Structure 1
Amino acid sequence: MSMHSRLIFIFCVLFLSGCATPPPKNPDNICEIFFEHRDWYDASKEMKDNWGTPIHVPLAMMYQESSFKHNAEPPMQYFWFIPIGRASDAYGYAQAKTMTWDDYQRETGNSWADRDDFADALDFMGWFTDKTHKINGVSKWDAYGQYLNYHEGWGGYKRKSYNQKPWLIKVSRKVDSRAKQYATQLHGCQENLDSSWLWRLFFT
């Protein structure tokens, strides 16, 4: 590789890494999340329009899955000190597994979707919650039941596999509590978020 080609390659790597959206500074407050990442709010509204899932539910699930890190992956497993691979091929904001992501792309026609793109990952979660409602009758507003389905799969939820995992029930309750917190917060700032940039510039 010539020196010129190497410089171009290095520039591209640095440019792309610089474009990665950092996690929100205060992930415990959905208003601050959306004020920091305005395009995330736009994507969240679109997800709600597409799937009828309230914004606070998948946001709480996403926080639990990836802490809003675009390139999140399961931890590496080791045999003694030798790395033997990750627990699963889950990846991105939604920690979507490859097979389920492929189903999403096929069913929605969104073949260009990327797991490390917030809008795509959130739309995936909207699709999943919609299917959970259709398959297992779990309300799209029920963050507890939705997260159990998300973790165990639709078949696992039907078999009540989560009853053998006290830790998962505890985590699902935590997700439900965060979803309710997000819902309360969003109620207090949604009017401001929905207002125009010009309005917020002069009146906030």
Structure 2
Amino acid sequence: MQIVQKSLKKISLFFLFGASLLLSGCATPPPQDTSNICEIFGEHRAWYHATAKASDKWGVPIAIPISIMYQESGFRHNAKPPMRYFLGFIPYGRGSSAYGYSQAQTPAWNDYVTDTNRFFARRTNFDDAVDFIGWYIHKTHQVNNIPKDDAYRLYLNYHEGWGGYRRGTYRNKRWLINTARRVDDRATLYQQQLRRCEKELQRGWLGRLFFG
């Protein structure tokens, strides 16, 4: 009897492990309407809770990490820089090691993992990616004294790195300055939209079930 029970237990663990792998491989599709943060979080409500958690942890307005993520990956979990080609048809690698929701480059991601002891974090996981962005903003505030609500300068740091920002590498990149302004404008819009729906997003599923 004990042998049968042990065998059944092993089989159950095997199927649970297989199911967890299957679920982890299921990609969450990007939101259908990325122009409205209420629609983004309404479609992926778990994203709101993950972003709110990162906001509380790092002292960052919710709208800023979401605006940065929109700009970096369009909310695609496996986003990568485009492949580069020699002579127009021979591939020789991508422009950087940026990957995932946050487009975190490998060195910065490794620093985050070490600094936060989150050794199982993945760039393709939304919760981990938004926590990374919160961490990066917090470190930017510490290193370069950028206010945590200044989306424009935060994005310049995010793109150029802390040293690059101090050296002013963005000054001759008109396209990057324009992009940072769009990130700032989007963050402002997202924050305004969030005021209209955050109370609803904070309600648990029981509240929505019984009170509509």
What does 1:52-67 correspond to in 2, within 5 Å?
52-67=59-74
Verify: 1:153 aligned to 2:161, yes or no: yes
Q: CA deviation at 1:187?
A: 0.6
**Matched position secondary structure for 1:161:** coil
RMSD of aligned residue pairs (Cα, Å): 1.7
Residue of structure 2 equivalent to 1:35: 42
Residues 1:87 and 2:87 are matched in the alignment: no
Q: CA shift at 1:175, angstroms?
A: 0.4
Task: Report the equivalent of 1:193.
Answer: 201
Between the aligned partners of 1:64 and 1:110, the Cα distance in structure 2 is 25
Alpha-carbon distance in structure 1 between the residues aligned to 2:30 and 2:156: 24
**More moved, 115-124 vs 193-202:** 193-202
| Superposition deviation, residue 201 in structure 1 | 3.0
Letter of the 1:56 counterpart: A
Query: Offset of 1:50 from its aligned partner?
Result: 1.0
Distance in 2, matches of 1:132 and 1:28, equals: 26
Matching of residues 63-74 of structure 1 within 5 Å: 63-74=70-81
Taking structure 1 as reference, are residues 124 and 66 closer, same or farther at Cα in structure 2, changes over 3 Å only? same
State the Cα distance separating 1:197 from its structure 2 match.
1.9
Deviation at 1:16, TM superposition (A): 5.6
Distance 1:182 1:194 in 2: 16
Does 2:40 match 1:23? Answer: no
Of 118, 121, 127, 1:113 maps to 121
Shift of 1:15: 4.2
Q: C-alpha separation between the residues in 2 aligned to 1:15 and 1:47?
A: 26
Unaligned runs of 5+ in 1: 1-10
Q: Which residue of 1 aligns with 2:136?
A: 128
Can you list the C-alpha shifts for 1:71-113, whole angstroms capped at 9, x where unaligned?
0000000012101110001000000000100000000000110
Which deviates more from structure 2 when the two are superposed, residues 15-24 or residues 119-128?
15-24
How many angstroms apart in 2 are the aligned matches of 1:83 and 1:112?
Answer: 31
State the Cα distance separating 1:35 from its structure 2 match: 1.1
Report the residue type matching 2:207 in the other structure: W
Give, as a single letter, the amino acid of the residue that structure 2 aligns with 1:174. Answer: R
Q: What is the identity percentage for the equivalent residue pairs of Structure 1 and Structure 2?
A: 56
Give the aligned length.
193
| Counterpart pick for 1:184 among 180, 192, 203 | 192
Deviations 1:20-66 (A, max 9, x none): 10001111111111111111011011101110011100100000000
Q: What is the CA distance between 1:195 and its match in structure 2?
A: 1.7
Pair 1:164-2:179 in alignment: no
Return the letter of the residue paired with 1:160.
G
